[in-house]
Amino acid sequence: MAKSSYTILLAVLILSANVPTTAALFKELVGAAVGITAVAVGGPLVIGAIGFTSAGITGGSFAAGMMSASAVTGYGGAAVATLQSVGAAGVGMSSMAAGAGLGAAVGSVACGGCD
């Protein structure tokens, strides 16, 4: 991701933070960083581990079972396609922003009443 994207994301998080102290703001920013890292790094690792790879769905994997089940039942094709897309191309900016928002929320809750 380009540096400007990170700068914009950080600016949005800072401007949207409704926190009374620097300590609470710091915890929300750390939470956002953890959220971005979990989504951007952890998501593709887990998806790759279950069989959705850049080379396609790995035979005999959990992903292959999902694909087979969706073909037989007619349900779940969209989920398989989405997971394969993430496995092939990685996580997009919107998913990273969602992860940052979730991370900021968790950081805020973890902070509690930091004053």
Give pLDDT, residue 32.
Answer: 73
Nearest by Cα to 38 from 74, 105, 91? 91
| Helix extents (H) in the chain | 3-16, 22-37, 43-49, 62-73, 77-89, 93-111
> 52: helix, coil or strand?
strand
Reported as a single tens digit per residue, the pLDDT across 29-71 is 777 777 777 777 777 888 999 999 989 999 999 999 999 999 9
Each residue's pLDDT tens digit, 64-111: 999 999 999 988 889 999 889 888 887 777 777 777 777 777 766 766
Q: How far is CA 24 from CA 12, 13, 70, 98, 113, in A?
A: 16, 13, 45, 20, 8
pTM for the full predicted model: 0.59
